[in-house]
Structure 1
Amino acid sequence: MKEKRNFDLPVDPPVLPMLSKRVDQLPVGSEWIYEPKWDGFRALVFRDGKELLLQSRDTKPLNRYFPELVQALLEQLPERCVLDGEIVISRNGALDFDALQLRIHPAASRVKLLSQQTPASVVFFDLLAQGNRDWRETAFRERRAKLQSLLSKVKPPIHLTPATDDPELARDWFQRFEGAGFDGVIAKAKDSTYQSDKRTMFKVKHERDCDCVVAGFRWYRKGDRPAVGSLLLGLYDDSGVLQHVGVCGSFPLKKRYELVEYLKPYQKDALANHPWKGQLDEETEDGGGHRRPGGQSRWSQGKDLSWEPLRLELVAEVAYEHMQSGRFRHMAQFRRWRFDKKPEECTYEQLEVVPPEELKAIFPENQ
């Protein structure tokens, strides 16, 4: 049974959050405020007396998954407010998105255990309402100042995101905090209003390139004839085992059709000696610690993850943003074929390693 909540706020749920648009370089000028881009679950928090709602980016309730945050928010937030922020988990000096994903579990007992073992934090960066006032049409510089005043005395697990109007410091954040799991830097115009579901902020994210073995592909499900949806990528580990590291996609429709013919010769006898014969859960490993594509998990939500194997002869250069737990954090982007490179040269050694920066550089105390 869905829990009923009654709110009488200037801004009542559900509300879609304001979004960001990706750019290659940070905008520079006196009219901008910069913030680190957190890698977690976006959350709008509605508090009206004893009523509190943690709302996800797609307006789903998150309360049951983060009971430790509900209690802390009720204790520390103003009686009536609506705030925008990010739920994160910090472990060993870095943000741990894998641990955060594990919190979305159907079993209440499991959620309770994980809330004790890997407690979450929430980092706020915008104000939508406070008391009887709707702040969405107020300039961001004023919303930020008010938010800073409201959260001046909060303690972990509640935090106010750092912000600066110094582009040099923002560039420093972009470099220093990547190793701690930050996605990049956000730029917000000082005079901007809060525009729900509109991409009015700007973000600069990390991107690198990597040469990967193309070990298979998935079909495109929306075309009127056979088309390739995504390419399955692999890298060899120190033991010489090909690990599944993610996919690349977002091809134009014409390219999807062309790839069908291009990949056809590499399908012949591909499964005979293919290292990924077993179709196991993408988010788990087999007994030998080997990652495989395919299989269903609670993250796939019934999606068809079946795939077609290819002989291990093709190498593709792809662009990626962030590597986490041996996999690309987001879908990679195809750049070009590398006919000058042998598949066995596609190893983890080519990846740039960024040393983690202690989160205490942002959080006032370690959690």
Structure 2
Amino acid sequence: MNLPVEPPIAPMLAKPVKGLPAQDGTLFYEPKWDGFRCVVFRDGDEVYLGSRNERPFTRYFPELVEAVKAELPDRVVVDGEIVVRGGQILDFDALQQRIHPAASRVRLLAEQTPASFIAFDLLALGDDSLLDSPFSARRERLESIFDRAGDAVRLTPITTSEEQAAEWFRTFEGAGLDGIVVKPGSLPYQPDKRVMSKVKHERTADVVVAGYREHKSGPVVGSLLLGLHDSEGVLRHVGVASSFPMKRRAELIEELAPYVSEDGHPWSADSLPGAISKWSATKDLSFVPLRPELVLEVAYDHMEGERFRHIAQFRRWRPDRTPDSCTYEQLERPVSYDLDDILAR
């Protein structure tokens, strides 16, 4: 490739903040897409899809390579997100399945669950590097190249209205998006720097502790395995909580010892959702089963199907709650929203 910005490059990042930053006359607000971060490089017939860790996605998304050739300028570098749709919402589980070692499987999945690319920043166009240009100028030039974009390469909506951003934060979650990204208009592109802001949803739930995995450093708790009861009373594995200081991890071993279950546990390592996959093929997923009698409160951002999308955060023990009261019914359901309505903005 012969571009003014060449791969690999680490994308610019956002730091989490608790609330939506107030408009000071300089801010732009965008939906936060839930997919794989990707920087697209195109130089004629050469296309490179770079991941957040600067390794190529190119072989896993052949349909996007063709879409980039058809829908973007001949020489361009665009930052964005790879997503897969499941109807009118994002499907992160289907997106994860796209990373597969077998070429035949990659081709099949490209047909069955085709990906889209959502563009939100422009790093280079033609012979011009835009890294030092302010974001407001980069966004203007990004919009100018989307006269020819089609269904697979789309432009994210943007607003300077704090009120509009707050409405997006509330409603767009129903389509699978997970917050708002905030960018100062004067911001140059700074690879691998957390210079933007992001606001994500946070909710709490009371969950059953049904086991733990040991930490890689030794016989201390690495993560707690969490469960919720479904409508038929079956305890389902919904995720883990793992953010504990090392001293606390050691204390938990002693505190949980009386609850270790010898037999009759509802779960096994092989039966847990996501137990063995290409992401964890070499990882030890065995766990210490606990009698499902302890309840704790965790914070989470949103659900992916029946599970927490990300690692839950421990908040407090709930000795006042009974395990059978920990059901999916307590979870807040986001307002339904249509992806096409978002992308039409």
| TM-score, normalization by structure 2 | 0.96
Structure 2 match to 1:330 = 310
Picking from 221, 224, 231, the partner of 2:224 is 231
Alignment of 1:73-222 (within 5 A): 73-222=68-217
Structure 2 match to 1:22 = 16
Structure 2 match to 1:249 = 242
Q: Is the 8 A contact 2:30 2:182 kept in 1?
A: yes
Separation in structure 2 between the aligned mates of residue 153 and residue 80 of structure 1, nearest angstrom = 14
Aligned residues: 344
Q: Is the 8 A contact 1:282 1:297 kept in 2?
A: no
Superposed CA deviations along residues 172-196 of structure 1, whole A, max 9, x for unmatched, are 1001110110010000011011111
Picking from 20, 43, 58, the partner of 1:63 is 58
Supply the AA of the counterpart residue of 1:259. Answer: L
Q: Which runs of 4+ in 1 moved over 2 A?
A: 281-284
Q: Is the 8 A contact 1:281 1:296 kept in 2?
A: no
Supply the AA of the counterpart residue of 1:171. Answer: A
Q: CA deviation at 1:281?
A: 5.4
Structure 2 match to 1:32 = 27
Structure 1 match to 2:263 = 272
Superposed CA deviations along residues 92-128 of structure 1, whole A, max 9, x for unmatched, are 2101111111111122222222212221110000011
Q: Is the 8 A contact 1:93 1:356 kept in 2?
A: no
> Per the alignment, in what secondary structure is the counterpart of residue 335 of structure 2?
coil
Supply the AA of the counterpart residue of 2:234. Answer: V
Supply the AA of the counterpart residue of 2:28. Answer: I
Separation in structure 1 between the aligned mates of residue 48 and residue 202 of structure 2, nearest angstrom = 35
Separation in structure 2 between the aligned mates of residue 235 and residue 274 of structure 1, nearest angstrom = 15
Structure 1 match to 2:280 = 300
Supply the AA of the counterpart residue of 2:14. Answer: S
Q: Is the 8 A contact 2:295 2:321 kept in 1?
A: yes
Separation in structure 2 between the aligned mates of residue 109 and residue 264 of structure 1, nearest angstrom = 47
Q: CA deviation at 1:301?
A: 4.1
Q: CA deviation at 1:254?
A: 2.1
Q: CA deviation at 1:152?
A: 2.9
Supply the AA of the counterpart residue of 2:297. Answer: E
Q: CA deviation at 1:361?
A: 1.1
Separation in structure 2 between the aligned mates of residue 173 and residue 260 of structure 1, nearest angstrom = 43
Structure 1 match to 2:320 = 340
Superposed CA deviations along residues 192-229 of structure 1, whole A, max 9, x for unmatched, are 11111110110000111011100011111136xx3211
Q: Is the 8 A contact 2:157 2:343 kept in 1?
A: no
Alignment of 1:284-295 (within 5 A): 295=275
Separation in structure 2 between the aligned mates of residue 125 and residue 133 of structure 1, nearest angstrom = 18
Instruction: Identify the range of structure 1 (64-73 vs 200-209) with the bigger mean alpha-carbon deviation.
Output: 64-73
Structure 2 match to 1:3 = none
Q: CA deviation at 1:283?
A: 3.9
Unaligned runs of 5+ in 2: none
Q: CA deviation at 1:296?
A: 2.6
Q: Is the 8 A contact 1:320 1:333 kept in 2?
A: yes
Q: Is the 8 A contact 2:269 2:287 kept in 1?
A: no
Supply the AA of the counterpart residue of 1:348. Answer: Y
Separation in structure 2 between the aligned mates of residue 152 and residue 349 of structure 1, nearest angstrom = 45
Separation in structure 1 between the aligned mates of residue 273 and residue 49 of structure 2, nearest angstrom = 26
Separation in structure 1 between the aligned mates of residue 12 and residue 184 of structure 2, nearest angstrom = 13
Supply the AA of the counterpart residue of 2:18. Answer: D
Separation in structure 2 between the aligned mates of residue 50 and residue 206 of structure 1, nearest angstrom = 40
Supply the AA of the counterpart residue of 1:262. Answer: E
Q: CA deviation at 1:282?
A: 4.1
Structure 2 match to 1:288 = none
Instruction: Identify the range of structure 1 (9-18 vs 100-109) with the bigger mean alpha-carbon deviation.
Output: 100-109
Instruction: Identify the range of structure 1 (208-217 vs 114-123) with the bigger mean alpha-carbon deviation.
Output: 114-123
Unaligned runs of 5+ in 1: 1-6, 285-294
Report the aligned-residue RMSD: 1.4
